[in-house]
Amino acid sequence: MNQRLRLATRGSPLALAQTRAVADRLTSVQPGLICEVIIVKTTGDHLQSANPDAPAPAKGLFTKEIEEVLRDGRADAAVHSLKDLPVDATPGLTVAAIPERENPADALIVRPECASLTFAPGSEILTGSPRRRVQWRGLYPAVASRPVRGNIDTRLRKMREGSAVGLILAAAGLRRLGLDLGGCHLHLLPLHDMVPAPGQGALALQCRADDSETIDVLALLDDPVTRACVTAERAFLAAMGGGCLAPAGACARPDPATGHLLLQVAWAEDETAPVLRGRVTGPAPDPVALGQAAAERIRQGGDR
């Protein structure tokens, strides 16, 4: 018997690419399933369209309208970039699946003349993230960072047409879109140098908590390892009282030798404050405790 599943998403090229990839995977594991993509304009999209150079929207502004569409029954499920989803659960909704994660690292895209990562005095790079800016300052203190807003292709265009020598973006988004970098060079930034945002590279498949049929379908794509890792990362963010715009990084990875998770974190009170870093390990079945332990490490001043 055929079943129709309405998937709500933002209308950005990356959001659509992610949602179509999820739809393809769902139809491959659930014979007879038909997926329909429903585009929702969010408050965050409106703000970026009105002024792409405006400060980053507050937490939840890329997800609130999508969740409303879910709650009132206009869609059955939603596909979110997990790092956009607030850490506080929305009443009546549940994250039924977190598929296997893409590479969580940040990518530095530079002009051809900077391929060796040697920058002339007065150089600037672009990034829309306070987290990236505070960590970049420690890597290249002589190279200033300047805010940038807009979709990935918009940011790439601004770098090519402006004076900036580079741009920092999530590697996962670039991979999912398969964009032509136009002769620019891509460097993956090491995770210990540029700790990614909690949940970066992961997707969240959300639906109504009382819709057991949709939960069962979405759960076919759930990856327990990814779920454990991002749960630890988001538990750290929650324990620190930060939202998706806080200058906070957290990245958990499984240790095959022990079966434990290694959680690496970075935190700054604001963009002028020093970055505190920490590394903790703990059992994979208790990722929340691991995230809370990392927060306590930061509160005690981080790793010395």
Which among 285, 234, 229 has a CA at the least distance from the CA of 262? Answer: 229
**Catalytic residue numbers?**
84
DSSP 83: G
Q: Looking at the domain that runs over 224-304, which CATH code has it been given?
A: 3.30.160.40
Confidence band, pLDDT 50/70/90 cuts, at residue 1? very low
Task: Give per-residue burial for 201-237: e unless 16+ CB within 10 Å, then b.
Answer: bbbbbbbbeebeebbebbebbeeeebbbbbbbbbbbb
Q: Which range has the worst mean pLDDT, 17-21, 41-45, 87-91?
A: 41-45
Q: Residue for token digits 């929305």?
A: 90
3-class SS of residue 111: coil
Q: Do domains 106-188 and 224-304 have the same CATH topology?
A: no
The beta strand positions in 45-128, using DSSP E, are: 77-81, 93-97, 106-110, 124-126
Confidence band, pLDDT 50/70/90 cuts, at residue 257? confident
Mean pLDDT of 147-166: 91
Mean of per-residue pLDDT scores for the chain = 92
CA distance 49 to 241: 29
Which among 244, 14, 214 has a CA at the least distance from the CA of 94? Answer: 214
Bridge-based pairing of strands 260-267 and 276-283 is antiparallel
Give pLDDT, residue 47. Answer: 52
106-188 belongs to CATH 3.40.640.10: no
Which among 259, 275, 289 has a CA at the least distance from the CA of 195? Answer: 275
CA distance 137 to 207: 39
Q: Diameter of the chain by CA atoms?
A: 65
Give pLDDT, residue 230. Answer: 98
With 90 as the cut, is the pLDDT of residue 182 above it? no
Mean pLDDT of 63-75: 95
The domains of the chain are located at 1-101+202-222, 106-188, 224-304
∠ CA(35), CA(38), CA(44), 5° rounding? 140
Homologous superfamily of 1-101+202-222: Periplasmic binding protein-like II (3.40.190.10)
Residue 19, class by beta-carbon neighbours within 10 Å (0-12 exposed, 13-18 middle, 19+ buried)? buried
